[in-house]
Chain A
Amino acid sequence: MPNEREVREARTFASYLGSPSFPSEISDRYRQAIADWRSGPPDRFDAWLVRFAATSPAFTALADSYARVARPYGDLRRRLTLMLALLETHGATHGVYDRARPSSAAAAWLALAGAGTMWALRSVLAALICAPAHLLLGAKSSRQSA
């Protein structure tokens, strides 16, 4: 059921990106765009990372933290970029993204520090989980292509 899997994946990614709702057009566009990209079998680690990320928004956060460093232009980052583009453009969801978050300077700096700390902790956890899979699947890919 690849369609169902992709719809679930799209919904998970939308939730991870903070969308308040998930209009069906976004799901359709998401699947269509991904189908347009496909030109061959995906890299094994990329494919694992996407499957892992699609499990839940919390796992997406971990996979994305790792992908930002290890696969900045890989499949997961592309999928998340696509989803963000769709969410910020759709009439029902754009409001979350088309704005600043005004506050006092102190509150803003505090929020930035908090976000930075969470990111650092998440990155460490992400490395502990994703790096072994990266080593294992990366090695398998190398053996297969040799």
Chain B
Amino acid sequence: MARHLVIGSGASGVHYALTVLERGEEVTLLDVGYERPTASLPDATYAQLKEQLEDPLTAILGERSEYVVYPGPVSKPYGFPPSKGYVFRQPTAWSLTSRGFDPLVSFAQGGLAEAWTGGSYELDERDLAAFPFSLGDLQPHYATVTRRIGIAAERDDLERFSPMTAEYDTPLPLDAHSGQLLTAYARKRQRVNALGVYLGRSRVAVLTHAKGERGACTQLGRCLMGCPRESLYAPSYTLRELHLFPTFTYVPGVFVERILLDDNGSATGALARELAAGVERKFVADRVVLAAGALATSRIYLSTLQHETGAAPELPGLMDNRHVMMPFVTPSRVGGDVEIASYQFHHLALGMRGASPGDDVHGQITALKGAQVHPIVSTLPFDFRTSLAVFGRVRAALGIANFWLADTRRAANIAHLHVTNDGRHQLILSYGDDASDLGRTHEAITAIRKSLRIIGAVVPKSQTSVLPRGSSVHYAGTLPMTNEDRPHTCRTDASVRGFERLFIADGAAFSSLPAKNITFTLMANAVRIAHASK
């Protein structure tokens, strides 16, 4: 029976682990593992929560109101509440410096996908052009993941960008604003499509029917706080499922320093440090699987090389999606009503085909419903009193389109290691100032703005922002899968060249970064790798 040592409990790690546990093998999962707090009043709507909690100010704004979103040069339409603090908490052992790149990392149980918005889209052949395996190798695993997590979806125009081979659940009921936009699109499809833009329903990892311990979405309006009914999928639910297997061992509270290698360069385990006691612990296994997220995985890999050779190389090719945020107003909805208690995130999605796969665009459209008022009102161009009056009248008409561009590996985007005076291994990310995709970004902005206009929404030009690098939260490509026999790359089965029995199951091994949200594909790819490890 093979013993697998999995590092990290994010989307990739838990689905790799579940797949090998299901065939009776042994898994030890090492994790920093900050825990999700228990949700209060799980059946209360967001408004009821404010009325029924003993101390809503602490629950929603933090003990010292530190979660208030203040106005600043970069406007943020929302902030994460304290209940999501565990997702972004960092151990002191972790050290990161970045230039031209502003990444988020997570050491939570479940990783960054504990704070995702559930967008789940199968990739197509075009998205996988740079990968050393075919769509047929991946598709069966989309079906497995869909069965495990539950995804609500509908067949529509977006199928031309994202196939629907898995078994999907019925979609969520549309909110009125999204419904109006979709109806307008159905009437004016040809004009929108002529701009290269296609619209459809978001495919989201939200249950519309109960599944095990998880309840169906009842529209509480608490999505951003963390769904108390667990309708919106998070990898920590799969982690909980792993505990049901007698061959599973979970070791939280440890920070992995490096991989242990034998004299032949084969991975034999990992060296980790207990966060509480500070002592080192060794874990041995037949296979070591890095699934800590692209950035943390890169650090562990570089630290291993630093220890073995005395010098760590630079890893080129770090990728992230260019992210554009485009608020809009639908004038015909001014004066309309809003259902505050409703599913908060996106109901609509959009796709655009570029000249090459690296030029593709994927987006999600969210109509404003229940939301914190102060981050929005403080950015309106009036005094607060006028802004509140205006906001009350136009709330039903507001929405936001977020869209992302695909990315390809570029030599100027580098991850490397710096050993500090106190011996700590600091990850340094240098993002080259490559503006070659800005032309395509502005083409996409123009096409999407015109498309929204055609279906009745107006985009104030000054409000559209191209966000800083790293804000897409999708990072990939430092140790890519390729058929070329080069150092610091992975084979098709995600085994790392030069190190036997070492595998990379997360985005670090991605050969390119599609525009579509990659979390669903991270899970499916981890299942594929687990099957290949038989």
Contacts and interface: CB of A to CB of B under 8 A. Distances in A.
A binds B: yes
Interface of A: 16-18, 25-26, 29, 32-33, 36, 61, 64-65, 67-68, 72-73, 77-78, 80-82, 84-86, 88-91, 94-95, 97-105, 107-109, 111-112, 115-116, 118-119, 122-123
6 closest pairs, A vs B, by CB?
Answer: A108-B335, A101-B392, A102-B337, A64-B383, A33-B65, A119-B386
A103 B65 CA distance: 34
Contact of B50 (A33, A68, A90): A90
A88 B372 CA distance: 8
Nearest to A88: B373
Nearest to A77: B71
B60 A89 contact: yes
Interface string B371-396: 01110011001111110111011111
B335 A104 contact: yes
Contact of A17 (B370, B384, B394): B384
A61 B383 contact: yes
B377 A105 contact: no
A81 B373 CA distance: 10
Contacts of A108: 334-335, 393-394
Given A32-B64, A84-B384, A73 B71 contact: yes
- Looking at chain A's contact residues, the main secondary structure is helix
Nearest to B395: A100
B57 A89 contact: yes
B338 A99 contact: yes
A111 B61 contact: no
Contacts of B66: 36
Given A73-B71, A85-B68, A86-B61, A100 B385 contact: no
Contact of A91 (B51, B69, B73, B335): B51
Contacts of B68: 33, 81-82, 85
B377 A84 contact: yes
A101 B57 CA distance: 25
B335 A102 contact: yes
Contacts of A90: 50, 56-57
Contacts of B56: 89-91
Given A77-B71, A78-B70, A100-B395, A89 B337 contact: no
B394 A81 contact: no
Question: Chain B CB within 10 Å — which of A17, A78, A88 has the most?
Answer: A88
B373 A68 contact: no
A88 B374 contact: yes
Contacts of A85: 61, 65, 68-69, 372, 374
Contact of B390 (A72, A105, A107, A112): A112
A91 B50 contact: yes
A97 B51 contact: no
Contacts of A68: 381-383
Given A78-B70, A91-B56, A105 B338 contact: no
B336 interface: yes
B195 interface: no
Contacts of A16: 384-385
A32 B395 contact: no
B438 interface: no
Nearest to A112: B393
A32 B47 CA distance: 25
Given A33-B65, A112-B334, A112-B390, A61 B385 contact: yes
22 contacts: A16-B385, A73-B71, A73-B73, A81-B69, A82-B68, A84-B374, A84-B377, A84-B378, A84-B384, A84-B388, A86-B57, A89-B61, A90-B50, A90-B57, A91-B51, A94-B51, A97-B388, A98-B47, A104-B335, A105-B334, A105-B335, A111-B393
